[in-house]
Amino acid sequence: MSEGKEKLMLFLSNGLGMFGLLLVILFFVSAIFAPVFATHDPFLLDIPQRMSGPTADHWLGTDQLGRDTYSRVLYGGRVALKVAAIGVSISLFVGLMLGMLAGFGPRWLDNLLLMLFDTIRSFPTIVLALAAVSLLGPSLELILTIVIVTSIPGYARLARTSTMALKGTEFIVAEQSLGAHPMKIIWRHIMPNVIGPLLILAAMDVPVVVTVEAGLSFLGLGVQPPTSSWGTILNEGYLLIRDTPWPIIAGGIPLVLTTLGFTFLGEALRDVFDPRLRKGR
C-alpha cells in the first residue's frame, strides 16, 4: 500500500476526525449557501413576533426586533468564514515566508525577525484591539488586520524551527555545495517539508480566529449592527436573557460546533502526518 493510501485509510479510521470533517463541511456549506438555506431575510423586522420561541415559521425564534434568529445565525457564519479564511490564509503565507527567511537567512536577520515576533506577541489581542478601535473605530476590516498581525508570529516561529532543523541536513548541504541559489533551496526543498505542520496548525487556529471575531463583536469592537455575527447575536441575547434564552443558544451552538469540528480535524491530521505521535499511541 502506498504512503498516500495508508494515510488516507488512517484518517478514515479516525472516528473523531471524520466527525470533525463533517462539522467543518457543515460550517462551510451553511456559510457559503446561507441565502439558500435561510428561511427569512435576516434584516427583516417583524415587531409583533419579537422574542418568540421556536415555531414552524421561525425555527430558532426571533430577536428583540422580530428578526429570524436562524437566518441571522446562517449569515453570521459568513462573517466567521470570511475572517477565518482570509485571516488564517494570509497569516499562514506571511508567517511561512518570514519563518523560512529567519531560519535559513543570516544570523542578524534571524535576530531581527525574532525581536519583531516577540514584540507582536507581547501585546494581548484584546488590548491591541481596544487600542486600534479607539484610534480607527470598529469594523470587520480592523478585526481581520488584528487577527493577521497577531497570528503571524505563531506560524513564523514554527516555520523557523522546522527550517533550522532542515538547514543542516545532507541534501540541503549538497545543494549548497553545488551552488544552488538560496531562494531555490527554500522553494524546492525546505517549503514542501515545512508547510505540512503549518497546515495542521492553521486547521486548529480557525476556531481561535472565529472566537476572536465573535468575542470582539460581542464587546462592540468588531462587526456592527445590523450586520449579523455570532458575537452580535450573543451580545443581543445576553441583554435579553431574562426574556428569551434562544438568541444565546442559537449564537453559542455554532461556536461550539465549529471549535469541535476544526479541533477534531486538526488532531486527526496531526496524527496522520506526524509519525512520532502515531507510534507513541
Residue 68 — φ and ψ, nearest 5°? -70, 120
Residue 71 near residue 42, CB atoms below 8 Å: yes
Is the per-residue pLDDT at 119 higher than 70? Answer: yes
The pTM (predicted TM-score) of the whole model is 0.86
Q: How confident is the model at residue 280, as a pLDDT?
A: 45
Q: What share of the chain is helix, strand, coil (3-state, %, to 5)?
A: 75, 0, 25
Instruction: Tell me how many domains the chain contains.
Output: 1
* Cα gap 265→175, rounded to integer Å: 36
Q: Spell out the long-range contacts of 61-65 with Cβ–Cβ below 8 A and sequence spacing 24 or more.
A: 61/244, 61/246, 61/247, 61/250, 63/233, 63/236, 63/237, 63/240, 63/247, 64/236, 64/239, 64/240
Find the domain containing 180 and state its range.
Answer: 3-279
The model's pLDDT over 182-237, given as tens digits with 9 standing for 90+, comes to 788 888 888 888 888 898 889 889 998 999 889 888 988 888 888 889 999 999 89
The model's pLDDT over 39-74, given as tens digits with 9 standing for 90+, comes to 999 999 988 889 888 988 999 989 988 999 999 999
Report the mean per-residue pLDDT for the chain: 87
Label residue 1 by pLDDT band (50, 70, 90): low
Q: How confident is the model at residue 279, as a pLDDT?
A: 45
Q: What is the CATH number of the domain that holds 250?
A: 1.10.3720.10
Q: How confident is the model at residue 39, as a pLDDT?
A: 93
